[in-house]
Chains A and B, each alone.
Chain A
Amino acid sequence: MTIWAATDWYAFFFLLFALLACGFAAAVLFTSNIVRMAFYLTLSLGATAGLFFLAGAEFVGVMQLMIYVGGTLVLLVFGVMLTARAPFLSLRPRSGEWIVSLIAGGTLLFLLIASAFGVRNWRTASDSGPLPLAEAQTATAVGAGLTGVRVDRLNRDAAGHALSQLPHTDSGYLLPFVIVSVHLLVVLVGAAYLARAKVRRRSATESTASVEG
């Protein structure tokens, strides 16, 4: 029974998702087959979504699953299939590049990890302890934040009634939200332009070519 008492599920799940995310990220790096890379990337991104859930960012986690894993990767696999012909399926990096990149990457990784543990404040939980679960349920707050109301900045009494009003100047993330919306519209139009219609050109050979059996 002691082993059960010592088990910390939070740490367990964190480790699980962290290892999955890092492991599959490494798999993306070391695979040269492009389709498998896409597959590993999905798993890595999915595991990261799990980390987001653990950190209490449910909405971001689901967004990650929906847009990143679902949308982007379907798009990517689409691209892979369109361009996947045997010679390009596995383009291998040159070995010299490998060494240089590994040295640089290793150094970067060391620095980042050192700094991650360097700040004492990050390394330890604050004395007041983490907030309870309910605070993590943030979908509505995120939505309100995007529409310009930072409900999380309201001071509230015990019953949840706001003690003060937000300053008029605080528009939350309304502006970035609008900018991103316009940006997406532009991307949409741009994509439509890239794949725009062209007048069909048909060579005579095409129309008369017969199929070889």
Chain B
Amino acid sequence: MSIINDPRVVEFNIRTDEMLINMGPQHPSTHGVLRLVLRTDGEVVLGAAPHIGYLHRCAEKIGENLAPRQWVPYTDRMDYLASMNMNLGWALVVEKLLQLEVPEKGRHLRVLVAELNRIASHLVAMGTYGLDLGSFTPFLYAFREREKILDLFEQVCGARLTYSYIVPGGVTGDLPQGWLQNCAQFLQELEPVVDDYHALLTSNAIFIKRTAGVGVLPGEMAVNYGCTGPVLRGSGIDQDLRRDGEPWYTSLYDGYQFAVIVQKEGHYPQDHDYPAVPAEAVLGDCWHRFYVRMLEVVQSMDIVRQALDKYAAAAGDCGTPIKLNHKLPPGEAYLETEAPKGQMGFYLVTDGSAIPWRVRARSSCFANVSVTSELCRGCLLADVPAIVGSLDIVLGEIDR
């Protein structure tokens, strides 16, 4: 419950003046160049207006002038913390338009790298969230593990951030020798570290005080605003495109065992060893959004393990990337995939040439951040970074 709506909080008989302050675009905790114009009365934020666009790079316009394969690096730079997932989303929508199936081995490879990148993205989300709340150490703990994932990706495609690995039709290259063992070993190393994260943040008393009951986003509002991903599931809406998406996408996960992580009111998932939901936490608050990500790390680890086995068992190749001059049949296709930050959609309109007529990227963070003004109304100034951080936004994806 926000401060000004809280009937227990009373108004004091002191005349105060409202102050308009600019939080960002240069501010340590707006996760990039987000700018929030806050109307404050003392420490209480009466209103927050997010302003975006400081990182706008006309990606969609550029997409109208490039072949689908050439546009892959531009998807890298959308959610640059989860480039694999961005690549995957774009590759899948082009393949959907072309009705091009990827071989079994390529399918498992895609699941493998996408889920690994999901772990990396959630680790950054966790680490920076600690930073937003004034705790520096989890950030480096998270980056230490993420670094290992980046090392794995470097072995795969030579890049550590902008992979351009998954391309329409397949991938740029198969896994190198011994990579599967490295990956399995990494998972083994990550397993105990997750407990550290929970000790440092999830179950930390101050962390709970700062996040539980703060920035409550009711499920209905989340759906109404188009919020997706952990934000949506943290509000108790059971939707994960890996299970509920279009067949073109869910077929990727055929044969995988995983349960969608969703928070429920008063429901304490006890099928794992991780901390129970604290009593102060309200469904849809910052704590729940954070917790969804933490549990999804474990979930993704499990999927990666399955993918490792399936990939090793699969025969054949990983698919052949389409050529630059590959003619695109006239038509259109829209596909959303479950990226770490939410549902990332690509919309592709073609006119029969090799160059798309129109490319559109539906950003999950764009919808997620639009709810900020709603969540920040009536909170305290210190809650603003907590709320923005819990939405886990990447401005590269919002501004495109």
CB distance from A21 to the nearest CB of B (A): 33
- The answer for the CA separation of A213 and B13 in the assembled complex, in Å, is 29
**Chain B interface: which of A6-14, A40-48, A95-103, A204-212?**
A204-212
Nearest A residue to B15 via CB reads A82
B46 in complex: contacting residue of A82, A195, A196, A206, CB < 8 Å: A206
Contacting pair B11 A200 (CB below 8 A): yes
B271 at the interface (CB under 8 A from A): no
The A interface is mostly helix, strand or loop, or mixed, namely loop
Residues of chain B with a CB closer than 8 A to A123's CB: none
Contacting pair A200 B49 (CB below 8 A): no
Interface string of A190-203 (1 = CB under 8 A from B): 00001111111110
- The answer for the CA separation of A212 and B9 in the assembled complex, in Å, is 26
Residues of chain B with a CB closer than 8 A to A201's CB: 11
Interface residue tally on A, bucketed by range: 10 to 19
Contacting pair A198 B48 (CB below 8 A): no
B13 in complex: contacting residue of A194, A209, A211, CB < 8 Å: A194
A168 at the interface (CB under 8 A from B): no
A94 at the interface (CB under 8 A from B): no
Contacting pair B10 A213 (CB below 8 A): no
Contact A199/B373 with A211-B39, A213-B49 known, Cβ cut-off 8 Å: no
CB distance from B5 to the nearest CB of A (A): 9
- The answer for the CA separation of A9 and B27 in the assembled complex, in Å, is 53
Interface string of B25-67 (1 = CB under 8 A from A): 0000000000001110000001111010000000000000000
A161 at the interface (CB under 8 A from B): no
Contacting pair A211 B11 (CB below 8 A): no
Within 8 A of A (CB), among B5-29: 7, 9-14, 16-17, 20
CB distance from B315 to the nearest CB of A (A): 58
Contacting pair B49 A210 (CB below 8 A): yes
Residues of chain A with a CB closer than 8 A to B354's CB: none
Contacting pair B49 A211 (CB below 8 A): yes
Residues of chain B with a CB closer than 8 A to A211's CB: 20, 37-39, 47-49, 373
The interface of chain A, by Cβ under 8 A from chain B, is: 82, 85, 194-202, 206, 209-213
14 contacts between A and B (CB under 8 A): A195-B12, A195-B13, A197-B12, A198-B11, A198-B12, A198-B13, A202-B4, A206-B46, A209-B47, A210-B373, A211-B37, A211-B47, A211-B49, A212-B37
CB-CB nearest 3 A-B residue pairs: A197-B10, A211-B49, A211-B47
